[in-house]
Amino acid sequence: MSRVRCSGREKSIADCAHPGWWIVSSYCSNKDLAGVVCQTNEDPPPVQVRLAGGRSDNSGRLEVRYHGQWGTVCDDGWDMKEAEVVCRMLGYPGVQEHITTNFTPVKGIVWLRYVGCTGRETSIADCSHRGWGNTNCYHNEDVGVTCKMG
């Protein structure tokens, strides 16, 4: 197989888009072989969230800690449902607003893009997304949240 395109939701690589079996592009060689490292069926690593760079503890740029590294979340597709999940993770009773404005620039990874929550999840890690670290966003697209005070 060559030029395989998967969304990440397929049950088998055979369900991914590709030009056809045994059709190999002329630019493929043994150095182009693909490999993977699989995660076991153990529980995924815990995900932490915090708000940074805001005017108060309940407001700021969303930062997510995944595999021990803090990063941000892109504002593509972000709305109140996702913000609701984040505020609940932080112990607030709800969301006041989601913010898609620039914060003080930061360095590091943008962890998530196109996060899709129903609003009932207990963790942002339970929401759909394009994959951890699979973004082409810049930090001027970092999302923020203002949570309701108890």
Instruction: Report the alpha-carbon distance of residue 142 to residue 139 in Å, rounded.
Output: 5
Given a cut of 90, whether residue 83 has pLDDT beyond it is yes
- The strand pairing partners of 73, in sequence order, are 112
Range with lowest mean pLDDT among 14-18, 23-27, 51-55, 117-121: 23-27
Q: What is the pTM of this model?
A: 0.69
Higher per-residue confidence, 107 vs 29: 107
Instruction: Report the alpha-carbon distance of residue 16 to residue 8 in Å, rounded.
Output: 9
Range with lowest mean pLDDT among 35-44, 47-56, 122-131: 35-44
Q: Which domains does the chain have, with CATH numbers?
A: 1-36 (no CATH), 47-147 (3.10.250.10)
**Phi, psi (deg, nearest 5) at residue 139:** -70, -15
Confidence band of 65 (pLDDT split at 50, 70, 90): very high
